[in-house]
Chains A and B, each alone.
Chain A
C-alpha cells in the first residue's frame, strides 16, 4: 500500500472535499441538544484514502451522513462541506439528491440489512444508475452484471437476478461496493464497511474496496474503529473523540509516533502480533463522555493521565506538532518527547 501523501503531490489543485467547521447537534424535546459533531474541519484530496477513526459516539459516522443529508430532521447542521467548491450543506434537497449515489456514494456497515429484501441485487444496482438518468433499465442491468464482475462476484450474469438473501455476507458487501461505484463517484464514503463481516472476509472485502477505488480513481473516506484496516489501506488518518478531531497525520507517523494521549491509549490497548508475549494491554480507564453532557474542556480529560487544570477549563486547539501531524492537546509540547510506541514502553 502506498504511503505517499497525495496532498503534497496534488500541489496547487484544490482538494476534492473541504469540510469546514461542521457541527451536528440533535434536538430532543425536554433534553439538551446532543452535540454529536463539534466543529470538524478536514479536506479530502482526489484519489486519497482518509480514515476517520473513533469509538461509537465519537461523531465519525454522523459527520459523513450530515454531508449527504441522510440524518433525521432533528439534526441541526452548521458549517460547510464543499465538494469542488459547492457547499453540500447549502444545497436544496433536490440538488443534493443528484450528488448522492452519483458524485458521492456510500457503503454501509451491515450488508444484511442495507439491501431491500424484495428486489434483486441487479435491480438495486441498476436503480443507482437509472435514478440519475445515466442509462435505461436494460443497459443498467448489463452494467450491474459488469460491476459485480469487477468486484469479484463469480457468475455475475446469474447473481444479478438473485435476491439479497441468496448472497453470503461477504458477497453482499461486494455487491454493495459494486453499487457504490456504479456511477464512478469522486468520493466513496465507507461507514464501517467490514464490521459486520467475518475476519477472513474482512480482508477480502477491504482489498476489493481498495482496488476498485484505484480503478475508478475515487477518494475514499473510510469510517472505522478497526485500526488494522486503517493501517493497511489509509493514506491519512484522523482520530475523533467526543465529536472533535483530536489527531491527524499520515498513517505511518500516526501509528509510530502518536501524539495525542487518546490515540496513544487506543494503540496501547491493542494487541500486536510482533509484540512480546508478556506485553500487557493497557486499557483506557473510564468510558467516553455522553454527547448530552460533554465536559466543558477537553472531552478526554476525565480519562487522561496527563490531565491538568487547564484541560478541564477549555478544549485545546488542533495544532501542528510537526509537519503534517496535528494533535489537539494542551500538553503537545511536553508530549513531543514521547518515545515511539512499543519500544519497551508497554511493559
Chain B
C-alpha cells in the first residue's frame, strides 16, 4: 500500500505540472501588467515599465516565465503581487489559507459526523416523519443558493433576533480574532452556511448508500446469526455503507479547503476564495492566482489519493495494482 501511495504521488506530479502550466498560459495571456499600468498610470515613464518588466520577466515567452515561476514556487517563493503594492505573495497566501482553514476544517468535520448520523437515522426510519424531515432538509439545502442562506442567517441574527431580544450573539461578517469568544462568534454563521450546503448533498448520498446496504443479504445473515440490532447498525451496516461515503467526504473536504468564494463574500471573510477572485482575477494578478490554483490542485490530488487509500483499507476487495 505504501508503494501504491508513492506511485500515486509520483503520478500526481505530471497532473499538477500540466494543470498549472495550462492555467499559467491562460492567465498570463489575458492579463498584461504593462497594459494595466498604462491604464492605471498614464503619466508613468519608461522606467516604470522597465521595472515591471524586470519583476515579471515580461520580455520572455510564457513557457520560460512558467519555468521560472515554477522554480521559485518549488522553493516556497510565489513571486510578488502586482495588485498589492509588490508584496510577496507567499505570506498573503498563507494568511488567507489559514483563514479559509478556520472555516473549512471544522465545517468538513461537522459535515462528516452529521451526514453519517443523519443518513443512518434516515435510512433506518425510512418513510417516517423523521426521515421526511431529513429528506426535506436535504432538498432545501440543495435547492437554496449559498448566498441566500448566508444572507438569511445575517438578517435573522443581525436584525430580527436583535430586534426581539436586544442581543447580537454572532458576528454577521468579518474575522475577529481579539479573543477566543470573538473568534467563535465570527465563525459561527459562515460555518453554519458551509455545513448546511455540503451536509445536504452528503446526507442524500449517505441515505441512499445506507438504504441499499440495509436490505443487503449479509445484514439478514447477521440478523439470522442473532447479532443484536445495535451491533448490526454500528458494525455491519456502517462498515459497508462507509465505503461509498468516504469518497464523497473526501471531495467535500477538498472542495471546502480550496476556498469557498460565495460564503467568504457574503460574510466578508478574508479567505482563499476571495483572494483568488477579487485580488487575483479582478485585479489581473497572475502570481496571486497561480498560488491559489497550485494549492487547489495539490489539495484535490491529495484528497483523491487519501480517499482511494481509505477505500482500500475499508474494502478488502480493492487491491492496489
Contact = CB atoms under 8 A, between A and B. Distances in A.
Interface in B132-158: none
A115 interface: yes
Interface in A80-113: 93, 97-102, 105-106, 108, 110, 113
B223 interface: yes
A128 B231 CA distance: 13
Given A116-B240, A128-B226, A108 B315 contact: no
Contacts of A163: 316-317
Nearest to A104: B224
Nearest to A100: B226
Contacts of B317: 117, 163, 165
Interface in B235-254: 236, 239-240, 243
A118 interface: yes
Nearest to B239: A118
B221 A132 contact: no
A131 B221 contact: no
A118 B228 contact: no
Given A163-B317, A165-B316, A113 B216 contact: yes
A320 interface: no
B226 A132 contact: yes
In this complex, the interface size class of chain B, counting residues with CB under 8 Å from chain A, is 20 to 34
Contacts of A110: 217
Nearest to B223: A70
> 4 closest pairs, A vs B, by CB?
A101-B226, A101-B225, A113-B217, A100-B226
A68 interface: yes
Contacts of A117: 218, 240, 315-317
Interface string B201-220: 00000000000000011101
Interface of B: 216-218, 220-229, 231, 236, 239-240, 243, 314-317
A68 B222 CA distance: 12
21 contacts: A68-B224, A97-B228, A100-B223, A101-B227, A105-B225, A108-B221, A110-B217, A113-B216, A113-B217, A114-B218, A116-B222, A116-B240, A117-B317, A118-B243, A127-B222, A128-B225, A128-B226, A131-B228, A163-B316, A165-B316, A179-B225
B225 A118 contact: no
Given A127-B225, A132-B226, A116 B220 contact: no
Query: Which of B225, B243, B316 gathers the greatest number of chain A CB atoms within 10 Å?
Result: B225
Contact of A131 (B227, B243, B314): B227
Given A108-B221, A113-B216, 12 more contacts: A100-B223, A100-B224, A116-B221, A116-B236, A116-B239, A117-B315, A117-B316, A118-B239, A118-B315, A131-B225, A131-B226, A163-B317
A118 B315 CA distance: 6
A128 B239 CA distance: 18
Contacts of A113: 216-218
Contacts of A101: 224-227
